Amino acid sequence: MKTKKKYPVEVYLNDQWMPSQEATVSVFDRSFMFADGIYEVTPFYNGKPFRIEDHVARVKYCLQQMNIDFDISALHDFMLEAVERSTFSKEDAAVYLQISRGMAPRSHFIPQEIKPTLLLYAFQVNLADFEDRHWKVMASEDFRWHRCDIKSTALLANTMANDAALSAGYDENLLFRNGHFTEGSHTTIFFVKNKTVYTHPEGRQILSGITRKVVLELCRDLDIVVKEEAFPVSGLKEVDEIFLTGTTTQIAPVSSVTIEGKEMFASQKGEITARLQEEFVKRTRER
């Protein structure tokens, strides 16, 4: 879904706060040369962080997978400070952070002595009324790399898939490999069939979503049966509900799915999606 964003007023870059227009990174930073870095987005509801420990833990996992040596101990406080310094410290917001391997002469060889680059800033985002939005989506072949569990800044394939959807008038592009759905270009996919919720198991083909984790917890609390298994494209006609999740997407019902110009699924928001949305609001707002 297309959203209009603005540049932040200030950013935290390599140990100091500064106006965003003054922030610069070397052209030899490996994030520029190789997209050699990771990123994270953490939501704040009415100025309060939601599952911030889970987001920091995911940063740690991604850094470990990429062998980037970076001390994450201060990230929690930096994120809180970013929101506190803003003009929207009591409103809905999110914090974006990016850690690259750092600056070095261009080479496929990864240098051992290198200082990572940290960029972090807060931005406003509308997290309210997500329950009222219905997403019209398309689906296509997943041509991304095979380490989707790493929240890498190398998002070209994702942005191409998302742009293909937006250009065709859709809100998102659901991706599939070998006849089974993996995830959306920037969302996690859930299917509901005969009151059972299906979603792709964790592994290298999908990102381990924080909102995904919350939804699985909600399903357990609500006694909703969950099967973590790859759902076949051929099973779309048998699906009762589909919803997508993500940090700022939250829980979004899908109204239709089109593949190669043919509508394969059409539905309004179902009972299970509505129940999960209601409980999600309680978790995020009533704290």
Active site residue 151: yes
Is residue 195 within 8 Å of residue 225, measured between CB atoms?
A: yes
Contacts of 223 (CB under 8 A, 6+ apart): none
Distance from the Cα of residue 125 to its chain's centroid: 14
Rounded distance, CA 40 to CA 98, Å?
Answer: 7
Strands 16-19 and 10-13: antiparallel
**CB burial class (10 A; 0-12, 13-18, 19+) of residue 188?**
buried
Rounded distance, CA 78 to CA 199, Å?
Answer: 33
Choose, from 2, 151, 269, 282, the residue flagged as catalytic.
151
Rounded distance, CA 170 to CA 105, Å?
Answer: 41
Terminal CA-CA length for the chain: 28
Annotated catalytic residues are: 151
